[in-house]
Structure 1
């Protein structure tokens, strides 16, 4: 296996599942595999404990928006964890892709979770707000203009906090993911698109240079980035 240098973010690489004409059977198997992949690599259990659970209300429901929710596995996991901890978390997962939306809404229902086909900008226009806003593996898909729009929307939509989680680009991450997924997930886009995602992803200094000063970039592990916004903090001047 020849490793790319990964010194520079590959903004021109495209994931196969983003193609509206990709094989629908492979796409469905990819959505079905996200639960296992995200459980193994996305680090949401730690992010939930550190950055979301402290904001959950003990005396009533807390609302959370999952932007670009894909197959909805993160939205469902967050609702389950909160319920086990004794909290009432109401999760809304949005995705503009009709294929992702159809997949998510056909899964067995989880209490407190709903899915809508929508963009974050449409929710802002509609005057909607949530206590918390999150996304998983979304940032690396976006152009600078789209990233700016997402962050502006997120800040307007969130009463309490925003947590955008993504991959941290690196040669070790690329090598480990390539080897670990080689015999797994046949008939899916998991391995091919996962490697493309790593090539498209940021390192911490790059992401810090692209976001406003009131956003914080955290590196909770060697392979992860968190982009955080505290809606309760005083605005910086």
Structure 2
């Protein structure tokens, strides 16, 4: 998927299939209820940033869940890939979501830092395993500067059984998209909980909810505005 010359039709189908896959493997509804919802303000407009949002399905879900819970919220999804950005914008438009409340930008986290932007909650899904050591350190540092209250980077937890189960479950999708190939590659590249604990910055904590997830979580010091 990351290759600039990948088949555009297969890539489009991959973005379209991500909501189904993420519904079963990402666990974001539980993360929203347990961590994000308590961190959103009730007395003003809350803000959420999704770094590396891809086709935007997690971003859209966070917006829907927060508004359904009565929050006045603005959600921004960023991704440097023009193809992902285009798909995310089109999908939000088809869903009839106000682009002033759910915004997608073609950008990297460092660009938002340079503009001095801040968000109550900053998240990412399946981004960490794509990054080299320098990029990884940069994203963690950017996140701390962007998040007022809470940051959560969710990623795959590498286990041999994950390769087996995911490979079997996605066999029907093998030729219709990049889901299976990209997913198996991502599992191989991902961290164990111990490995992720060794690369996060101080004050971050790594949790492993379930067999195949890692959460790197950071709470802003209380003294910060």
Identify the TM-score tier after normalising by the shorter chain: over 0.9
CA contact (8 A) 1:92 1:113 kept: yes
Tell me which of 5, 9, 16 is aligned to 1:25: 9
CA contact (8 A) 1:65 1:133 kept: yes
Superposition pairs of residues 108-127 of structure 1, within 5 angstroms: 108=94, 109-111=96-98, 112-127=101-116
What TM-score, normalized to structure 1?
A: 0.89
Q: Which residue of 1 aligns with 2:69?
A: 85
Whether 2:79 is the aligned partner of 1:95: answer: yes
Alignment RMSD, CA only? 1.3
Tell me which of 149, 166, 170 is aligned to 1:177: 166
Unaligned runs of 5+ in 1: 1-16
Q: Deviations over 1:24-64 (max 9, x none)?
A: 00000001111111111000001101110001122221101
- Determine helix, strand or coil for the equivalent of 2:34: helix
Q: Which moved further from structure 2: 64-73 or 81-90?
A: 81-90
Q: Which residue of 2 aligns with 1:50?
A: 34
Q: Which residue of 1 aligns with 2:144?
A: 155
Q: Measured at CA, do residues 25 and 148 of structure 1 come closer, stay the same or move farther in structure 2, by a change above 3 Å?
A: same
- Determine helix, strand or coil for the equivalent of 1:159: strand
Tell me which of 197, 205, 213 is aligned to 1:224: 213
Distance (whole Å) between structure 1 residues aligned to residue 85 and residue 173 of structure 2: 25
Distance (whole Å) between structure 1 residues aligned to residue 16 and residue 72 of structure 2: 26
Q: Deviations over 1:103-140 (max 9, x none)?
A: 11111242421100001000100111111100000000
Unaligned runs of 5+ in 2: none
CA contact (8 A) 2:174 2:181 kept: no
Q: Which residue of 2 aligns with 1:139?
A: 128
- How big is the shift at 1:186? 4.0
What TM-score, normalized to structure 2?
A: 0.94
Q: Structure 1 stretches (4+) deviating beyond 4 angstroms?
A: none
Distance (whole Å) between structure 1 residues aligned to residue 223 and residue 119 of structure 2: 19
Distance (whole Å) between structure 1 residues aligned to residue 76 and residue 174 of structure 2: 28
CA contact (8 A) 1:33 1:185 kept: no
Greater relative CO (CA pairs within 8 A, separation 6+): 1
CA contact (8 A) 1:161 1:232 kept: no
Distance (whole Å) between structure 2 residues aligned to residue 210 and residue 175 of structure 1: 27
